[in-house]
């Protein structure tokens, strides 16, 4: 063992650990081990000096890593740089590795069904294309609930997260109406062919607002990649870590995470800006937000508009 690490290229820290091991195992004195390894005894007995600045950085790296266990070292580096630290990625990686932090990425598959009316389109500005979809979870007693999510594909902002035991077409319209009042009307909405999205009530209402629906092809998840990627982060950073005692608790925690995602979480594809920061730098092409009359799928057209509600209505 001693011969294998006695070379000149071996780091002093490695040799120091070898000397310590030899002394603890009774293989010889520290003087003999240092001589055999070519390590000065003064180097062996020297106490490592770590500056206060380095200790503060290490504590901050570990604090952020514990707070956000699903963030990798690049995102932790970006967050620290945003707070004013001058630090490189390799240092963050080393500290996290020594502390045992590691993010294992798991991929998941989803299934899509329905008729296709897909048309590929890439968002080129804020409010150009929104995406919506559902993700499911359950409370502590096993009761299933659904979450409707809505994002802006260009800015990556999460515009709404609504949890409910069941979400009907009228609920979808209410949530989108509230988002339009807050962010302005988009030009397009990308969607799968779920029954809530292909309902005549939803199609007619969006048509009156001159919002075009872009339906994806069955099984072509890559056509709705932005919302699928968002759901992956939502499940990885929140749903897989929380046990919800009730639907109301889930709604509160989801809204809190949505605000953190928009305002605090650096996004790698945005140059490690937050979605809110990136949106603020975009030109805002807001469209008129006048509410369109609701059309019932079963009773024809109605002249009564849908009442205004919050983005996350109270559950049943």
Q: What is the pLDDT of residues 106-124, one digit of tens each?
A: 544 433 333 344 446 676 6
Asked if the structure places residue 309 within a domain, the reply is no
> Are 151 and 296 in the same domain?
yes
Over 70: is that where the pLDDT of 144 sits? yes
> Are 92 and 177 in the same domain?
no
Q: What is the pLDDT of residues 71-96, one digit of tens each?
A: 888 999 998 998 888 888 998 998 88
Q: What is the pLDDT of residues 218-257, one digit of tens each?
A: 666 666 788 889 999 999 989 998 899 999 999 999 999 9
> Are 147 and 292 in the same domain?
yes
The pLDDT value given to residue 141? 92
> Are 186 and 277 in the same domain?
yes
> Are 241 and 259 in the same domain?
yes
Mean pLDDT of 186-198: 80
The beta-strand segments (E) located in the chain are: 129-138, 144-152, 158-164, 188-191, 212-215, 295-296, 300-301
> Are 150 and 70 in the same domain?
no
Asked if the structure places residue 311 within a domain, the reply is no
3-state secondary structure (DSSP) of residue 183 = helix
Mean pLDDT of 61-73: 86
> Are 15 and 147 in the same domain?
no
> Are 28 and 95 in the same domain?
no
Mean pLDDT of 278-297: 59
Report how far residue 183's alpha carbon sits from residue 225's, in angstroms, rounded to the nearest whole number.
22
The pLDDT value given to residue 48? 64
Q: Which domain holds residue 28?
A: 3-45
Q: What is the pLDDT of residues 291-310, one digit of tens each?
A: 444 444 333 433 343 333 34
User: Which position has the higher pLDDT, 316 or 88?
Assistant: 88
Question: Phi and psi dihedrals of 272, rounded to 5?
Answer: 60, 30
Asked if the structure places residue 110 within a domain, the reply is no
Based on the structure, what is the number of domains in the chain?
3
The pLDDT value given to residue 44? 77
Over 90: is that where the pLDDT of 1 sits? no
Q: The domain that contains 164 carries what CATH number?
A: 3.30.420.10
Report how far residue 199's alpha carbon sits from residue 114's, in angstroms, rounded to the nearest whole number.
12
> Are 167 and 71 in the same domain?
no
> Are 286 and 198 in the same domain?
yes
What is the torsional sign of CA 120, 126, 132, 136?
A: positive
> Are 159 and 243 in the same domain?
yes
Rounded to whole angstroms, the maximal C-alpha distance in the chain is: 95
Average pLDDT, the chain: 78
Q: What is the pLDDT of residues 155-183, one digit of tens each?
A: 999 999 999 998 888 888 899 999 999 98
Asked if the structure places residue 310 within a domain, the reply is no
Confidence of residue 314 (pLDDT cuts 50, 70, 90): very low
């Amino acid at each position: 063992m001693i011969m294998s690490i006695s070379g000149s290229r071996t780091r002093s820290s490695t040799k120091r650990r070898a000397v310590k091991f030899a002394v603890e195992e009774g293989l010889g004195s520290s003087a003999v081990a240092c001589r055999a390894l070519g390590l000065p005894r003064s180097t062996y007995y020297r106490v490592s000096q770590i500056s206060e600045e380095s200790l503060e950085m290490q504590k901050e790296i570990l604090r952020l890593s514990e707070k956000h266990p699903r963030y990798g070292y690049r995102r932790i580096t970006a967050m620290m740089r945003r707070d004013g630290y001058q630090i490189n990625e390799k240092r963050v990686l080393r500290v996290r590795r020594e502390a045992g932090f590691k993010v294992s990425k798991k991929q998941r598959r989803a299934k899509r069904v329905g008729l296709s009316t897909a048309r590929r389109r890439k968002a080129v500005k804020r409010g150009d294309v929104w995406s919506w979809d559902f993700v499911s979870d359950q409370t502590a007693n096993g009761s299933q609930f659904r979450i409707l999510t809505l994002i802006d594909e260009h800015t990556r902002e999460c515009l709404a997260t609504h949890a409910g035991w069941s979400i009907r077409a009228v609920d979808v319209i209410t949530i989108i109406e509230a988002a339009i009042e807050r962010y302005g009307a988009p030009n397009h909405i990308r969607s799968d062919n779920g029954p809530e999205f292909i309902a005549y009530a939803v199609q007619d209402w969006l048509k009156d607002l001159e919002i075009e629906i872009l339906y994806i092809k069955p099984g072509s998840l890559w056509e709705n990649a932005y919302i699928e990627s968002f759901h992956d982060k939502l499940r990885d950073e929140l749903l897989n870590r929380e046990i919800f005692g009730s639907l109301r608790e889930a709604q509160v925690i989801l809204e809190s995470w949505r605000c953190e995602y928009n305002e605090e979480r650096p996004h790698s594809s945005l140059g490690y800006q937050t979605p809110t920061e990136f949106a603020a730098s975009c030109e805002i092409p807001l469209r008129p937000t006048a509410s369109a009359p609701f059309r019932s799928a079963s009773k024809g057209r109605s002249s009564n508009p849908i009442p205004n509600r919050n983005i996350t209505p109270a559950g049943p």
